[in-house]
Amino acid sequence: MTTVGFIGLGVMGAPMARNILKGGFQCRVFDIDPTAVQSIVAAGAKAATSPQDCAMGSDVVILMLPNGAIVEAVLFGPDGVLNGMAEHAVAIDMSTILPGQTDAHAARMKQAGRRFVDAPVGRSSAHAVSGQLLIMVGGSQEDVSAVRPVLETMGDTIEHCGPTGAGARMKIVNNFMSITLNATTVEALLLAETSGLDPELARRVMLSTTAGQGHMATTYPAKVLKGDLEPGFAIDLAHKDLLLALEMAGPLNVELTTGAAAMPRYDAARAAGRGGEDWTALYADARRRAGLSK
């Protein structure tokens, strides 16, 4: 019988631990907040007295903690996970932290002869409750296979992204996208409202275009990702329309900060002679600048 240690029973960790219990695993749990521990103990888990104690007797030890400094202390502190982990056990850090720090943790664990996987999660706390998280995993094939049944109690989509650190990297890329899109969403709705448009109407209109459907789902697979730079909508036209939005926003006192931040990408592509190419050719231009292609 696999025993899972779980450390960090907050908004995400508590429902994740509950789903591990529901999945039929035994659970040892630890949190610095005793109330958080009690509620999971009431659901059938055993309380541990420290991260080290939580790791002792566990085959898998999961961390779901606020930041990298706390993860480091919990893994390597005097009463940390490393001091309690059996040789066959696998530690999984599911927290969102800097990938470089994940690399350092993975290296330290390896040096100590212990197994480590990073597996941060996507989607929301509601998905943590329903067991439908997206889990982005970094680690060796063997380690990831060993922990997959436990991960499957918490998520319905498990993506093995590569070696240790790959999960942490995928998570930051994903969050960068959704977090910047949030700011653009604010600006679009604000521009609509200050122009006298009903924001619900604006939402409906944008849901039927690339604005709301997203480039990842629509234009990129149809154009630049298959090497087609023939203009469906040219960079020059997109540049003109971005200028129109910035000009429209001026008298309305709406700051289109992400709009202004996007402009240099268009300027650079036009300066490189790509104004007549499809707007997704912005990616081809950026890849060339990053030295990824000629």
- Contact set with ligand NAD (CB under 6 A): 7-13, 30-33, 36, 64-66, 70, 73-74, 95-96, 121, 124-125
Token digits of residue 294:
């000629």
> Would you say 26 and 3 are in contact if contact means Cβ atoms under 8 Å apart?
yes
Token digits of residue 27:
């659970």
Q: How far is the CB of 126 from ligand NAD (least distance, A)?
A: 9
- Which of the 8 DSSP states describes residue 228? -
Using the minimum distance from each CB to ligand NAD, give the nearer residue, 9 or 61: 9
Q: How far is the CB of 112 from ligand NAD (least distance, A)?
A: 20
| Per annotation, catalytic residue among 22, 46, 110, 171 | 171
- Which of the 8 DSSP states describes residue 45? P
Nearest residue to the partner ligand NAD, using Cβ: 10
Using the minimum distance from each CB to ligand NAD, give the nearer residue, 57 or 77: 77
Q: How far is the CB of 284 from ligand NAD (least distance, A)?
A: 32
- Which of the 8 DSSP states describes residue 36? H
String of DSSP letters for 121-165: EES-HHHHHHT-EEEEEES-HHHHHHHHHHHHHHEEEEEEEESTT
Q: How far is the CB of 152 from ligand NAD (least distance, A)?
A: 18
CA distances 51 to 10, 120, 165, Å, are 15, 19, 22
47 phi, psi to nearest 5 deg = -80, 135
Using the minimum distance from each CB to ligand NAD, give the nearer residue, 91 or 190: 91
75 phi, psi to nearest 5 deg = -75, -45
Q: How far is the CB of 166 from ligand NAD (least distance, A)?
A: 17
The separation between CA 155 and the C-alpha centre of its own chain, rounded to angstroms, equals 14
Residues with Cβ within 8 Å of residue 237, at least 6 apart in sequence: 279
Token digits of residue 234:
């040219």
CA distances 148 to 49, 58, 177, Å, are 27, 16, 27
Using the minimum distance from each CB to ligand NAD, give the nearer residue, 49 or 125: 125
Residues with Cβ within 8 Å of residue 80, at least 6 apart in sequence: 51, 52, 73, 74
Residues with Cβ within 8 Å of residue 240, at least 6 apart in sequence: none
Using the minimum distance from each CB to ligand NAD, give the nearer residue, 151 or 202: 151
226: annotated active-site residue: no
Q: How far is the CB of 138 from ligand NAD (least distance, A)?
A: 15
> Would you say 30 and 7 are in contact if contact means Cβ atoms under 8 Å apart?
yes
Catalytic residues: 171
